[in-house]
Every structure is written in C-alpha cells, then in structure tokens.
Amino acid sequence: MAKPKIAIVSTHPQEQIDVLLSLAPPDMDVTSVDGRLSEEDKIAICKDVDAVILLPADLPVKVARACPRLKLIQTLSAGYDRLDLKAMGELGIPVANNGGANAIPVAEHAIGLMLMVSKKLPQLWYTTSKERKWRGSFSAIGLHDITGKSVGIVGLGRIGKQVARLLKGFDCKVVYHDVLSFPHELEKELAVTRVPFEELLRTSDIVTLHVPLTPLTRHMIGNSELGMMKPSAIIINTCRGPVVDEKALYDSLKAGRIAAAGLDVLEQEPTPVNNPLLDLDNVVVTPHMAGSTEETIYRSAAFAFENIRRVLAGGTPESIITPYY
C-alpha cells in the first residue's frame, strides 16, 4: 500500500524544515516545498498530496483546488489570516492550526515584553554593555514593577489562558474580554474576571492582545480605544500587527497618552526601516518571534502529524478553525 503523501510548504530557514522532515513518521511520504515557488510549480509538486503542512499559514486557493486528494490543511502557527477559509470550506478542505503548540512561548514572550518595557531593560542593557556607562544609581524614575498591577487580557484562547497562568506568579489582578464565555470554574482556576472591553481598557495598567486577525479584530485598537487607556498604561501585542492601528498607536505614544508598548508584531513585516515606532524610547519591538522556540517546533510537528494521521484514518481533525463569515 502506498504511503500517504504530505507536503510541507514553507518559506522558513532550511534548518527548521530539516527538523520537521526528521520528525516525519516513517509511514508517511513527506516532502518539503519552497513557499516562494509559483502557483504552477506548487501545483506540479502538490497535486497528489493527501495533506499539506504550512509554515507560515499561506496556501493559494488555486493550489488547493488543484489537489483533489487534499484532506487537511494543517498550519504550524496559531494564526491563519493568510488563508481564505471561506474558499477552503467551499472546497470541503478543513483547516487546522497548531492546537496551542506555541501557547507557552508566546505567553512567555508577552510576559517578557511586560518586564522589558516596565523596567526599560533594553535601554539599561545598551547603556551598560554598549555605551559602557554605569548608571546604576542614576534614577529609578520611569521604572515599574508588574507585580500587583491590573492586567487586561484581550482574547482568552490557549495563549491568553497561559498568560493568565503565568501572571498568577506576579499577584496581578487579571481581567479579560472575549467574545466567548467561559465556565466559572475555569475563571476561578485562572483567577480572572470577565469584563466589558471598554472597562478592561479603562482600568488595566497593562493590556495584552491575544486575538486572531479577522475582519472583526482588524484595528480593534485605534484612537478611540487608546484614548480610553490610562496615561500610565502599557500595551502588549504578540498576536497580529493589524489588530492595532499603528499610526494611532504612534501618535498616542508620542503624545504620552499611553506610557509604552511592547510589540512582537507590526502591520507590515518586515517593518520598514523608517517605521517611526522604532525611534520611540518607550517602545520595545521584536521581529515576530514570540512563538519560535526549539521546543515549539517539536510540539507543532507532533501535533500536525498526529492530526493528519487522524484524518487519514477517517476521523475528525482537532483544532479546526471555524470561518468568521
């Protein structure tokens, strides 16, 4: 019996692809496909595949339509905004994300950004290590604890829940807003309280964003929302750049209407070198790496191959993405 064919379509570095290939089950025929190839070249390689693994989550509808045996599109990321879910649904092809495989690193990165911004760690490191200036007793003005602060989590999915768990160690008062309701038992376990979006913005010392990018969440943080926040508040974004109106954020930060931001994602990536956010001292930017750790690669691969095996056996895949239309 022929092995099922699986294609890993990716633009990531080859060493990461090699790790994924090394983790492939021996009873699957797994090959890698350069995500930069033309649609026609991708079709030529993928036309007889049973499943596709994506890193990042990007597959043209034309390619999917040309693969009659395709039973599952499996992303290794949590995000899926590059995929046309409606078109894939019409083709009868389910789309699944990584089942929370990156929840731990993204949550840790969000906490890291909170600490970096609150304690101005990048500036302290640069002044000490690169400028060789010892300013230990210079001033503590503008440096803050996160312990005991009020933190608002926007989106209590797998990553948001993990952020809440980590914040318990900082004795923070944690509130959240989500379009879904969660059982009281879970809220008690996580020590979180559900509040309206506007209340979260007005009362939180730190607002951290953990929502998917959809038409409903694009620019959900704009001038109006930033205007509701405390002048001392910090905003953290480790989900998708376009969730925040970048110009509105810049204007608010520049004018001191909010205190600072920690951003792993931006509206355009790679961001232009002249992005004015990069010139602000109250902004810490990292290059969309929150979910990228060696441990995540192994967790994501294990979940992906098991999910594919489940589908090939006639079962229902886990972590299916529900279209927003």
Dist. CA 223–CA 242, nearest whole Å: 14
Of 144, 112, 173, 111, nearest to 233 by C-alpha is 144
Place of tokens 């999915």: 157
Omega cis (within 30) before 270: yes
Assess contact for 226 and 249: CB atoms under 8 A: yes
Of 30, 34, 31, nearest to 10 by C-alpha is 34
Place of tokens 């092995």: 3
- Catalytic residue (one of 109, 240, 246, 299): 240
Place of tokens 């001392």: 232
- Catalytic residue (one of 269, 295, 306, 318): 269
| DSSP bridge partners of 29 | 5
| DSSP letters spanning 159-170 | HHHHHHHHHGGG
Dist. CA 301–CA 307, nearest whole Å: 10
- Catalytic residue (one of 144, 158, 210, 288): 288
Q: Which two three-digit tokens encode residue 239?
A: 């989900």
Asked if 240 is an active-site residue, the reply is yes
Residue type, 248: A
Q: Angle at which helices 294-312 and 103-119 pack, to 10 degrees?
A: 150
Asked if 109 is an active-site residue, the reply is no
- Name the residues annotated as catalytic: 240, 269, 288
